[in-house]
Amino acid sequence: MKHFNKILIANRGEIALRIIRTLKEMGIKSVAIFSEADRASLHVREANEAVCIGPAPSNESYLRIPQVLAAAKITGADAIHPGYGFLAENPDFSTACKKEGIVFIGPDAASMEKLGHKAMARAIAVKSKIPITPGTNGCISKNFLQGAKKIGYPLMVKAAAGGGGKGIRIVRDSSQLEREARMASAEAKAAFGNGDIYFEKYIANPRHVEIQFARDSKGNIVAFPERDCSIQRRHQKLLEESPSPAVDKKTREKLVSATIRLAETSKYVGVGTVEFLMDSNGNFYFMEVNTRLQVEHPVTEFITATDLVKEQILIAAGEKLSVNQAQVSNFRGHAIEHRINAEDVNNNFAPSPGKIEEFVLPGGQWVRVDTHIYQGYILPFYYDSLLAKLIIWGATREEAIARSKRALNEFFISGISTTLGLHKKIVNDEDFVKSKVSADFIERILAAKEISA
């Protein structure tokens, strides 16, 4: 077993601050890294030490492996936690950490390469006897029409690497295929350095459900209750909840069993997430694996009383999981996460950087806000637009929605445009309350009328 004295967080913003808080509770010192644009961020203030690693653009700072490793070495960090985004799913980073004798808090490079590459992950899912959506056998770089003919239209062109909705196109007929495939590949290449694509059958109006899992080096594994991430805009998640209102106990058991099989087949060590698409009949199909912590992990933490960052650190230290399957299966209540972004909803979700003039947080029992901003903070325009995550717990889904309404009305940000108004409309929408969410849910809300703050 390794004992960590100091951990560097190779990330920024709310996730860096969230990791720092767990490190403090575990008695482990923290090192923050920051770009010149992030000097005033809360994660820099709260860490025991902080190192500037470069200019504002992420490809000159947060994505530069040599600078990150240099910061870890000069501060004497034993391990690096990558958070999510940036280098979190980069196998070269994991390998580089190992070469320097620094523990990477996440799966090894081989697991990232196998499961982080969506086409390879599909093959592992088949081996694990998990249903997959019809698609190409691996990646495709030519003969697009021939590959599509075996699947039928509409279909999805999907990037094999990365995430965040990049490199994804819906193609409804053959006339669009060549152009969309080339565009998806180019976008993926620019975003992830990997232009591999594959085709997958498009499932109309699916539920997007996912299972968080954790497996330690001793083979102990737990699969947590599902999260429902169906409310999205352009493949970007806006709101997540757990458990899914569309999943019954029998289906949950099948999802959990499928996830455990995949984790064991791949000999994965760490915390990860298996994502599924589920049709209206409750049939589910493997979609992909995220070999990192998810943005929406707090809803799982709320209903299972588990600190997932702590579990990641325990696993990396060679210790066994602190929870077992019986404990996490006996979850309690319902949780909802609202992603509050710095975007102008009425201007095609254009980014809205600038100074936070006023900032009033909601409070009360079972209300959690993960954020790195504060009144007077100047939000840079170089990075992801996520401002804050509002996470709500209730004994029932109805109570969680009622508490969400109250907390959203208390939440106030001025100086920039945010998506707070959109979330207020979502929780007051009759279809959301009745859990009748379809693929055009957000588009219908946006078409209704202008969204106010």
Tokens of 143: 């003969």
In total, the chain counts a number of residues equal to: 453
**With 0-12 CB in 10 A as exposed, 13-18 as middle and 19+ as buried, what is 1?**
exposed
CA 84, 90, 94, 96 torsion: positive or negative?
Answer: negative
Contact 125, 133 (CB under 8 A): no
CA distance 126 to 328: 26
**Neighbouring C-alpha atoms within 13 Å toward the C-beta of 240:** 25
What does 13-43 look like in DSSP terms, one character per residue?
HHHHHHHHHHHHHHT-EEEEEEEGGGTT-HH
Helix orientation angle between 308-316 and 297-304, rounded to the nearest 10 degrees: 100
Tokens of 174: 């053959």
From its phi and psi, is residue 282 left (phi > 0), alpha (psi between -120 and 50) or beta? left
CA dihedral 281, 151, 160, 15 (to 10 degrees): -20
Tokens of 233: 């805009």
CA distance 196 to 185: 6
Active-site position among 292, 368, 406, 444: 292
39 is catalytic: no
Three-state helix/strand/coil letters over 375-389: CCCEECCCCCCEEEE
- Helix, strand or coil, per DSSP, at residue 193: coil
**With 0-12 CB in 10 A as exposed, 13-18 as middle and 19+ as buried, what is 204?**
exposed
Tokens of 295: 């943005």
Contact 298, 370 (CB under 8 A): yes
For residue 271, report the phi and psi dihedrals to the nearest 5 degrees. -105, 135
Contact 339, 23 (CB under 8 A): no
Where in the sequence numbering do the catalytic residues fall? 292
